[in-house]
Amino acid sequence: MKKKKWYSRYTGVRNRGINPQGFHVSQIKFYVILVPLAIFMLLPIIYIFSNAFKPPDELFAFPPRFFVVNPTTKNFTDLFAKLSTSGIPVSRYLFNSVAITIVTVLASIVVSSMAAYALSKKRFKLKKTLFAINNVALMFVPIAVTIPRFLVIERLSLLNTFWVHILPVLAMPVGLFLLKQFMDSIPDEVLEAAQIDGASDWWIYWRIVLPMIRPALATIAILTFQAAWNNADISTLYINDESLRTLAFYLGTLTATTTTTANTVAGQGIAAAAALIMFLPNLIIFIFLQRQVMSTMSHSGLK
């Protein structure tokens, strides 16, 4: 009895010191390091917000100013004025971006998770070879495969179609890698028990595997969202019909054409406002799903 009481007292003190539930004096050394580091990491985000509200004289001030002194919304009014004078309604570009992003995120999650389930929990020939090919694909940047991708898209007759925004980006090597590594941590005994009870592969995948890999799915959703929402290359390379292009492409061309004209100052303000508009959805979705991202990285072996 005394031994048990001593052990509980010892472990209680130890837990409060090493991993306390609330604030503890031992955490001060971590705050001293992490708080300045967090402030440093926030500087680019602060700069994007500050730059979007700078008046023209502050955008071209020398020496440059990091923080805005006299904030204004003129950059946004100029941007929306340019948008309203375009030949195609801006709502069309926005609809294309939203529809493409939603479909791409959902389809990418389904394709990556099903492929990861097969590579992680099923037995078949060339299993390790296929996963090795996926890992090799991680080393190639998109610009390196632009010409082969264009030839494949042309052969499939996807040029100047809505599906060219979706189908070429469904196979995400990093998504397959993360999901496969996450599924490897699921005990095989759980799936075998379900198979003994008569569960099919589809039932196991839908009812057991997917609920257990929600953090990884959230991570893939963020990565796919960022790739689809910010992608202007597809509209540039594979689309000729203006009504099939995205908001990212339109804002990029708008700011580019404006900055090459005589009114360079106004062009820089419009570019800053457009950058903030494109950045906000990425920031919002990451804020809501960042905990799942950290859990995925710890389980997948990425440091």
Fold of 89-300: MetI-like fold (1.10.3720)
Domain boundaries, the chain: 89-300
Task: Give pLDDT, residue 145.
Answer: 84
Question: In which band, very low, low, confident or very high, does the pLDDT at 101 lie, cut at 50, 70 and 90?
Answer: very high
Q: Is 198 left (phi over 0), alpha (psi -120 to 50) or beta?
A: left
Averaged pLDDT score across all residues of the chain: 81
Residue 78 pLDDT more than 90? no
Residue 1 pLDDT more than 50? no
* Chain position carrying tokens 């019909």: 241
Residue 234 pLDDT more than 70? yes
Question: In which band, very low, low, confident or very high, does the pLDDT at 278 lie, cut at 50, 70 and 90?
Answer: confident
Residue 213 pLDDT more than 50? yes
User: How far is the C-alpha of 165 from the C-alpha of 169, rounded, in Å?
Assistant: 7
Question: In which band, very low, low, confident or very high, does the pLDDT at 297 lie, cut at 50, 70 and 90?
Answer: low
Residue 84 has φ and ψ, to the nearest 5°, of -70, -20
Helix, strand, coil % in the chain, rounded to nearest 5: 75, 0, 25
Question: In which band, very low, low, confident or very high, does the pLDDT at 27 lie, cut at 50, 70 and 90?
Answer: confident
Comparing 5 with 19, the larger pLDDT belongs to 19
Task: Give pLDDT, residue 110.
Answer: 92
